[in-house]
Amino acid sequence: MIVLKTGRELKIMKEACRISAGALQVAGRAVEPGVTTEEIDRLAEQYILSQGGVPNFKHYEGYPATACISINNEVIHGIPSAKRKLRAGDIVSIDLGAKYEGYHGDNAATFACGDISEEAKRLMDTTRESLYEGIRAAVPGGRIGDIGHAVQQYVEERGYSVVRQFVGHGVGTNLHEAPEVPNFGTPGRGIRLMPGMTIAIEPMVNAGKPGVEVLSDGWTVLTKDGSLSAHFEHTVAITADGPKIMTVI
């Protein structure tokens, strides 16, 4: 069931999203050669708690950390570790969120660790812009398929692939709600977008083929062909005036 949020609910949720966005900024600024992924996770958690929020990924379906930190050919759900140090040239995808007064925020971005290759930069730029293409398509009266098509077309025109096994989702009093928001689709198809809907749009884009696999830890998702992957995400409210990005400071 899709839950439409009231103006009061959106105000509370906006605070959850502000905290989420701030934590992502803190985590992104910590991406440097030699830093462990556990250190980044700790900084993100400290920020969320300092703002009156609760890390909403931690213990979600058994997940052990505040942030998912995925490096290079890891697509999503990389588990932070004290043994894993970042290296110059890595691209680091960080996905996290906060819960505040019963409502959730969710966002992600991919960060460069030191100097990275031109190919990595192009992949990151394409993925980031495909997110905004999807957001621009999230207008009241439109369809979920419009969002996915906008992302898919932008990505594939540039020679990359969208991951199909994992998708965006509704956000609200639950971290994952209806509807699913795929990064591929057919214009004019799918659930109609209405004011009051709040969704996480999150392109996951591979430099190679779209296939992925899950490691034995049950969480970390890799590209099957070993190619680089990037991930960007915003929580977005559908309003009568068009889409509004909620995960901003």
pLDDT, position 12: 98
- Tell me, yes or no, if the pTM score tops 0.85: yes
Is 207 within the bounds of a domain? yes
Domain membership flag for residue 1: no
Band of residue 37 on the pLDDT scale cut at 50, 70, 90: very high
CATH number for position 234: 3.90.230.10
- The residue-averaged pLDDT of 170-180 equals 98
Tell me which H or E stretch contains 180.
strand 177-181
Model pLDDT, residue 83: 97
Q: Identify whether 170 is part of a domain.
A: yes
Q: Measure Cα distances from 236 to 80, 147, 199, 204, 239 in Å.
A: 27, 12, 5, 17, 9
Q: Looking at the 3D structure of the chain, how many domains does it have?
A: 1
Residue 2 is assigned to a structural domain of this protein: no
Q: At a CB cut-off of 8 Å and minimum separation 6, what does 213 contact?
A: 221, 222, 224
Q: CB–CB of 98/51 below 8 Å?
A: yes
- Asked, for residue 249, whether it belongs to a domain, the answer is no
CA distance 59 to 81: 16
Domain that includes residue 209, residue range: 7-243
The reported pLDDT for the residue numbered 246 is 98
pLDDT in tens, 191-225: 999 999 999 999 999 999 999 999 999 999 999 99
pLDDT score of 34? 98
What mean pLDDT is predicted for residues 57-84? 98
Q: Are 131 and 233 in contact (CB under 8 A)?
A: yes
Report the SS3 class of residue 151: helix
